[in-house]
């Protein structure tokens, strides 16, 4: 291999690695679709990641905080162990509280050893009512 071929090969491999890195960065901004059950079961695996979730949006505390519950039954019976806190103003989700929704948000896992709390979502976007199933 002569010098010209070596330079060409190195340039191609460096260019490829930069292109791959830029694709990786762009995909990190896209939310990863995930089951809320999987998130609650493995919170540390998703800490700091942008996630796309579906669940039942309801009040999650006495202070009118909001939570994304696994199901409507969990929300109505205040089973907070089946929910994740959603840090957003209630006015931003007006008309969606008490309904199934999809959203994107950045997840933060609870500290190690805290079992009654499943972490929280912030930087919420793409909030929409779930358009399938029973939409009472």
> Which residue would you say has higher pLDDT here, 17 or 81?
81
Q: Considering the chain, what is the average pLDDT of its residues?
A: 81
Query: What is d(CA 5, CA 19) in angstroms, rounded to the nearest whole number?
Result: 21
> Which residue would you say has higher pLDDT here, 96 or 1?
96
pLDDT band at residue 135, thresholds of 50, 70 and 90? low
Buried b (16+ CB within 10 A) or exposed e, 27-43: eeeebeebebeebeeeb
pLDDT band at residue 113, thresholds of 50, 70 and 90? confident
Classify burial at 112, counting beta carbons within 10 Å of its beta carbon; exposed 0-12, middle 13-18, buried 19 or more.
Answer: exposed
pLDDT band at residue 28, thresholds of 50, 70 and 90? low
Beta bridge partners of 129: 101
Residue 72 has pLDDT above 90, yes or no: yes
């Amino acid at each position: 291999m002569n010098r010209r071929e070596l330079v060409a090969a190195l340039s191609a491999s460096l260019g490829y690695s930069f292109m791959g890195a830029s694709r990786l960065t762009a995909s990190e901004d896209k939310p990863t679709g995930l089951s809320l059950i999987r998130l609650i079961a493995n919170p540390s695996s998703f800490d700091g990641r942008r996630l796309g979730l579906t669940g039942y949006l309801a009040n999650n505390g006495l202070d009118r905080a909001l939570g994304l519950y696994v199901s409507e039954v969990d929300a109505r019976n205040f089973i907070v162990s089946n929910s994740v806190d959603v840090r957003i103003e209630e006015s931003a989700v007006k008309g969606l509280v008490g309904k199934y929704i999809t959203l994107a948000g950045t997840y933060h896992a609870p500290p190690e050893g805290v079992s009654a709390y499943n972490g929280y979502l912030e930087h919420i976007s793409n909030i929409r009512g779930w358009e399938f199933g029973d939409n009472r």
